[in-house]
Structure 1
């Protein structure tokens, strides 16, 4: 995948071989699909930088970690939705669902991790933030 016209299917190298393998399940990753490229640009730049901010806040035990984590997880879930919703709405022409390996391992398991992990982190941050707000409100009433 490239924004400059290079195609993964004609590239060589380790990362290209991984994309080619995944491209057997989702052909949009073999060429410069505008939706996928657009989402990946935001992911690499925005979510990449935000990931470093979350990591810094986590290592330094900063309470801002939870706000940043909510932003990052929400962005990831939105990216997941925008990657697959257009595909589903058009009948999944680029997804190879006939092959059980591609459907259940590549598409469901591997992509499911990008949904489950952010949901778990959102739940964790929700509990932390809810507790902090409750504690603040309780002190305010005293």
Structure 2
């Protein structure tokens, strides 16, 4: 088991280097994918697509392998190549090495429902589907919930499984990578809020104009009817 007081003198181990390079490759794949559809989406949605593809790849490959390993054993006891990344991350958060039930439960939700919604969201953005922002809000809320339930229980119990005595574990593994799934979902929620406000505001104007036009039409009809009635009485 990892010793919390252990001093780590090396900046990057082979495992951490490979893990960081893998995440960089996923970002490049996301960029290439978004570039293919750049002509069909807005500039903002171009960056959203990069993030979503990166997000899906992380969920399917890295987190998916974690779920499979954790359901049959633990990362700590596994010799599979896919366990290498999680053994490295477990140096920062030991729960990922021992198949903590809360972590595994959240990852099952992430690998299944959240990943499916994210894939559907990518399609909805490219094709301009009406349900795009419903999916975007759902994905973001799930991501934020996952982050909260990952760290809040640990904070409440004294953070006994978190190891922050090395800058790599603290600022790269725990802060940077986890904050990505906080800051970006919050920005996407803000985008959905702004887009729906514009959409519903425009619909409100249309509805208002329709009501006004209908009211004026009814009043015109009533005026003409009264005029005809008066003319009939005179005759």
Specify which structure has the bigger relative contact order, considering alpha-carbon pairs within 8 angstroms and separated by 6 or more residues.
Answer: 1
SS at match of 1:91: coil
* 1:57 aligns to 2:124 (yes or no): yes
Q: What is the Cα-based RMSD across aligned positions, in Å?
A: 1.2
User: Which segments of structure 1 move beyond 4 Å, counting only runs of 4 or more?
Assistant: none
Q: How far apart, CA to CA, are the structure 1 residues paired with 2:79 and 2:184?
A: 31
Please name the residue that 1:114 is paired with. Answer: 181
* 1:93 aligns to 2:160 (yes or no): yes
Structure 1 unaligned regions, length at least 5 = none
The correspondence for 2:85, drawn from 13, 18, 40, is 18
From the CA coordinates, give the structure whose radius of gyration is larger.
2
Q: How far apart, CA to CA, are the structure 2 residues paired with 1:15 and 1:115?
A: 25
After superposition, the C-alpha distances for 1:98-138 in whole angstroms (9 at most, x for unaligned) are: 22221111100011111111111111111111110111111
Alignment TM-score, normalising by the size of structure 1:
0.94
Alignment TM-score, normalising by the size of structure 2:
0.58
After superposition, the C-alpha distances for 1:2-54 in whole angstroms (9 at most, x for unaligned) are: 123x1112223442111111100000000110000010111111101111211
Report how many residues are paired: 141
Q: How far apart, CA to CA, are the structure 1 residues paired with 2:75 and 2:145?
A: 25
The correspondence for 2:115, drawn from 41, 48, 65, is 48
